[in-house]
Structure 1
Amino acid sequence: MKRRLIVSACAALAAALSAMPSHAAQTTLVVDDNGAQCPGAGFTSIQAAVNAAIPGSTIRVCPGTYNEVVTVNKANLQLVGPRTPADCTQPGAPNPATDAIVQADNAAGGVVNLVENGIRFQRFTVQNNTLGPGVFTGASFSGHGVQQNLVQNNVLGVYFNSDGATDSTVTRNCIRQNNQAGAASGNGIYSDLGLSDADIVQNAFFDNDSSALVLTGGAPGAVDAVDIDTNTSQQDGSLLAVFNSTDTRVRGNTVRNGTGSAIFVGNDNTALQILSNNITGSGRGVRTSIDFGGGPSSNVRITSNVISGSTSTDGISVGPNSLTGSFISSNLAFNNPRDGIRVDAGGNAGNQITGNVLRNNAEHDCHDDTVGAGTAGTANTWRSNAGLTENRPGLCRGTPS
C-alpha cells in the first residue's frame, strides 16, 4: 500500500511539473534581424531577446545589422555573436552577412550596456556611437566578460567599471579609432567610476587618438588590482594613463609608434608594477608626472622593459615631485633623443635605480637633477647601471652591452 501511494504521489508531481512553464526551453534564444541566416530565429531584435530571457540564458545572435541600444539587465546572460578575429590594424567596413553589427547613438550610455552581474558579451561589432561609448559596464556590478569583439568609431570604446566582487575581463578584442568628439574622446578603454579586480588582456588597440587605456578615479585606490597584460597598441596616443591605482600590474605589452608617453603614470599610484613591456617609437617610453594634480606615486616597480627610438625625449622619465620610494631596474633604454633614464629635480627621493643598460641616448644615458645624500649627491641610489654618458659622475658605471 505504501509503495502504491508513493507511485501515485510521483505521478501527480510529474503531472503538475508538466503543466508548469518550461524555463529550459528558454535557455537558448536565437536572434536574426531578417531571418536570412537563421530562418528559425525567435527574435529580430537583441533587446527583445534580452527582455524575454531568464537569468543564465544564452542569446545567440546571427549575422546582420542591429540598429538598437541594447541594455542587458539580467544576471549571467551570455550574448554570443558570429564574429571571427581579423587584423585590427586594417580597418574596413564590417560585413552584415558574416558579422553581428550593433550600432546606435546613445547619449545616456553605450550602444551595449551591461548592468547586471556575470554577463558575457562576445564576438560582436559595436560601432558608430557619436554620443558616447560602444560598450558600457556598470560600476555597481562585476563578473563582466567583454571578449573577441570589434569596437570602433565611437566617442570611446569600452567604458569599463566594476565593483570588484568577482573578476571582470576585457580580453581579445580589437578596439580601434574611437575618436568621435565628446567626453573622454579618443580612448579605447576608459574608467573613472571605479574599477577593481579586473583583467585587460590580449587586446589589440589601434589609432585611438588619446590613449588605448585611461584608468582613473576620484581618490587613491579607485583603480585596484587591475592586470593589464600582453596587449598590443599601435598608433594610439598612449598605451596607458593610470591615476589613483593600487596593486595594479602592466606586463608584457607591446607598444609601437604612439604619439605621447607609452605608459603615463599620473598621481597617487601605489604598488604599481610596470614589467617587461616592449616600447618602440613613442613620444616617450615610461613617464611619471603630477601635471594633473595630486601627490607622488610610491612603491612603483619599473622593471625589465625595453624602450627604444622615442621621438620626443626620454626612455624613462620622472617628472618633478612624482616618484618616491620606487624601483627602476633591469631596463634597456637606447636610441632615445634625450636621456635613457632621467629624474627631474624636486621631491623625487628614495628611489633605487639599479642594473639598467642604457646606450646611444642623445644627451645622457643616466641623468638625475635631484639633490640629497644619495649617489653622486642626488636624492636616489644609482647602482650597477651600464651607460657611457651622465650629468653627474657616478650614475653610470661600466660599458653598455
Structure 2
Amino acid sequence: MAMKSSPVVLKTWYVSIACIMLLSALLLFPVRISLASPAVLVVDDDGFASPTDCDGSDPAYSSIQAAIAAAFPGDEIVVCPGVYSEQVTIGRDGLRVRSFDGSAVDGTPDTVIQPGELTPAAVLITANGVVFQGFYIKDATTGTGHAHVHRGVFVQGDNNVILNNKVEGRGTCRFADVGILVRGGGVGNGVAENNLIENNEVTNTCNGIATVSIATNNAAAYTTIKGNTVKNNLGIGIAADRTPSALVGFNEVTENEIGLKYNSDSEKGLPATGTKFRCNDVYGNEIYDAQNIATDNSIMDAEFNWWGSNTGPDPSKISGSVDYVPWLTAPKEEGCPQKGRMTGGGVLRGEVLFINKTKVSATVNFGFEVHCNNEKEPNNLQINWRVGGQTFIFHLTAMNYAACFETAADQGMPPAPFDTHVGSGEGRLKIGPSPWTPATIQWMFVDDGEPGVGKDIFHAVIIADSTSYVISGKISGGNMQAHPDDP
C-alpha cells in the first residue's frame, strides 16, 4: 500500500526551510535588530566589518548612503578604509559619520569618497547637528561632461561640524568650484547657522572654504572656520561673503590666488556685521593676501594675523579697506597661544558707554575669568551699569569663540605668552525689574601692565532686542591679568 505524506509534516518542513532562509539573510546582511539609539552602523566596501575591526566577518553596509538610510538620529556611522564612488546626502539630524581612524589629515587619507558627480556636492548636509569627520573627498572628474560647479562638502543645515577631512579639487576655476561651502537655501529658514569647519585640508580647487549669503533666505550666519590648511587653490583661500558673525581663525592660508576675502552688502540686507579674521597665517598668495569687496563701505576686520613678516603685510597684497593693525609678529602657534586664561575685575567711569551709537556717561562694573580655549571651563563674565535710574546686568552663559594674542602691550608680571583676549558668546541681559532677555556679546580685554588702572583696556559689544551697548575704555579701577596656566 502506498504511503501518503503527512500534510502536517510537509507544512512543518516548509516552515523550517523558511526560517533557515530568514536566518541566513539576517547573517548575511546588516539588519538593525534594535530600534534603540544610539547605535553604531559599520560600512566596508567588501560588506564585512565590525566597529572595532575592519577585517572582521560581521555583516556591514557596503555603501555610506545605505547606512545613513538605516540610521536613526544620534547614531554613529563608522566607515572603513576604501574608495566609495558615491554621492552622500546626510538628511537625518544628529548623525556622526566618520572614517574608521577619524582623520584624513594625519598622513593616512585612506577612506575616500570619489563620486562621478559633485553637483550639488560630493557630500551634501541638509540636516542639523551632524558630525562629518575624517574623509578624503577627491574630485577625479575629467572631460567636458562637467561644465558646472563642483563642491566637495556643502553644508545647508545648522550646528554641524566638518572635521579632519581632506578635500582635493579638479584643478580648475572655470566653474567656481568650492571645497567646503556653507550656505542655506531650501532648508529650514534658509539660513545655515552655527556651523563649525575645523582642521580640514583643502587644495587644488577653485575656492577653498566659503561661507556665503546670496539672499536673506539663502544665507549663512555664525560660521566658525578654524584650524584649517587651505593652500594651492586657484581662486580664493577662505571667503566670508555677506555672512554676519563669521569667525575665521587659526587657519593656514597660503599659495592661493587670493588668501582671505570679505564681502558685505547692507543695501540688500546682507551685512557681514561682526565678521572677524583672527590668528591666521596668511602669506605667499599670488595676487592678494586679503581683499575687501564690500559695497557698503564696511571695513574688513583682520587684526592679529601673521602676514609672513614681523613688519606686517605687504601693502601691495592688501586690497580695499582692511584693518590689519595690530598684526602678529610671529606665526599663529607662537603669537596666538591656545593655552592660558585671563581674569579681571574693576570699574570704568565717564563717557565709556554707547547705546545705539549714542554716547552716555556711566559707571560700569565688571568681573571675568575666560580661557584662551573656548572648550575649557569655567568661563564667566558679568557686567553691570546704571543709566537713567535703571540697572543693567549682563551675564555670559556660553563662550563660543576665544583667542589670545601677544601685542605691543606690556603686561608686566607674571609673564604670559599673550596680553590680549578676544571672544564672543551668548548671554542674557536684565534691565531693571524686567525679565532676562537673550543677548550676544563680543569683547576684547588687554592686560597692559601693572597697575592696571589707566592702562588695561576693556571693550565689549552687547546686543539685545536690536539695541547695541558698546562699553569701551581704559579701566578706572581694578586690574586685568593674563595667566599662562590653564587649570
Q: TM-score, normalised by structure 1?
A: 0.59
Partners of 1:153 and 1:23 in 2: how far apart? 39
The answer on whether the counterparts of 1:247 and 1:270 sit within 8 Å (CA) in structure 2 is no
Q: Does 1:205 align with 2:260?
A: no
Cα–Cα, structure 1 residues 173 and 157, in superposed 2: closer, same or farther, change >3 Å?
Answer: same
- Partner secondary structure for residue 246 of structure 1: coil
The residue that corresponds to 1:147 in the other structure is 163
C-alpha distance in 2 between matches for 1:137 and 1:236: 23
Alignment map for 1:348-359 (pairs within 5 Å): none
Quote the offset at 1:257 in angstroms. 1.1
Letter in 2 for 1:33: D
Q: Percent identity?
A: 24
Q: CA deviation digits over 1:100-134, x for unaligned, max 9?
A: 10011335311011011111100111111645011
Paired position in structure 1 for 2:20: none
Q: CA deviation at 1:41?
A: 4.6
Residue type at the aligned position of 1:67: S
Aligned alpha-carbon RMSD (Å):
2.9
Deviation, structure 1 residue 166 = 5.0
Over 4 Å off, 4+ runs: 85-88, 162-166, 281-286
> In 2 relative to 1, CA 158–269 (structure 1 residues): closer, same or farther, beyond 3 Å?
farther
Residue 165 to residue 259, structure 1, CA distance change in 2 (3 Å): closer
SS of the residue aligned with 1:275? Answer: coil
> AA paired with 1:287?
I
In structure 2, which of residues 40, 60, 70 is the aligned counterpart of residue 42 of structure 1?
60
* Match among 59, 64, 70 for residue 82 of structure 2: 64
Partner Cα distance (1:49, 1:108) in 2: 21
* Closer, same or farther: CA 25–215 of 1 in aligned 2, 3 Å: closer
Task: For residues 277-335 of structure 1, give each alpha carbon's deviation from its aligned partner in whole angstroms, at most 9, with x where no partner exists.
Answer: 1113887566343xxxxxxx6xx743212599xxxxxxxxxxxxxxxxxxxxx89xxxx
- Partner amino acid, structure 2, of 1:135: V
SS at match of 1:59: strand
Asked if 2 retains the 8 angstrom alpha-carbon contact of 1:204 and 1:233, the reply is yes
Residues 83 and 119 (structure 1), Cα distance of their counterparts in 2 relative to 1, 3 Å cut: closer
Provide closer, same or farther for how the CA distance between residues 44 and 269 of structure 1 changes in structure 2, counting only shifts above 3 A: farther
* Residue 41 (structure 2) aligned to one of 29, 42, 47: 29
| Preserved CA contact (<8 Å) 2:223 2:247 | yes
1:88-167 alignment, distance < 5 Å: 99-106=110-117, 108-128=119-139, 130=141, 131=146, 132-138=150-156, 141-154=157-170, 155-162=177-184, 167=194
- CA–CA distance in 2 between the matches of 1:199 and 1:206? 18
Q: What is the TM-score normalised by the length of structure 2?
A: 0.49
* Gap runs ≥5 in structure 2: 1-31, 171-176, 185-189, 214-218, 265-271, 331-406, 409-487
Measured in 2, the distance between the counterparts of 1:251 and 1:79 equals 29
Counting only pairs closer than 5 Å after superposition, residues 1-400 of structure 1 correspond to structure 2 as 22-24=34-36, 27-34=39-46, 35=48, 37-39=54-56, 40-81=58-99, 82-84=101-103, 86=105, 99-106=110-117, 108-128=119-139, 130=141, 131=146, 132-138=150-156, 141-154=157-170, 155-162=177-184, 167-178=194-205, 186-193=206-213, 194-216=219-241, 222-244=242-264, 245-267=272-294, 268=296, 270=298, 272-280=300-308, 287-289=318-320, 301-305=323-327
Query: Are the aligned partners of 1:274 and 1:301 in contact in 2 as well (CA < 8 Å)?
Result: yes
Amino acid in structure 1 at the alignment position of 2:164: Q
Q: Distance in 1 between matches of 2:253 and 2:286?
A: 11
Partner residue, 1:399: none
Deviations 1:129-161 (A, max 9, x none): 6450111111xx211110000111243211222
Q: Partner letter of residue 199 of structure 1?
A: T
- Give the aligned partner of residue 322 of structure 1: none
Matched position secondary structure for 1:213: strand
In structure 1, what is the Cα distance between the partners aligned to 2:72 and 2:287? 46
Q: What is the SS of the residue equivalent to 1:48?
A: helix
Q: Secondary structure at the match of 2:45?
A: coil
Task: Give the aligned length.
Answer: 260
- 1:253 and 1:285 mapped to 2: Cα distance? 19
Are the aligned partners of 2:37 and 2:72 in contact in 1 as well (CA < 8 Å)? no
2:168 partner amino acid: Q
Q: Which amino acid aligns with 1:32?
A: D
Task: State the distance in 1 between where 2:297 and 2:76 align.
Answer: 39
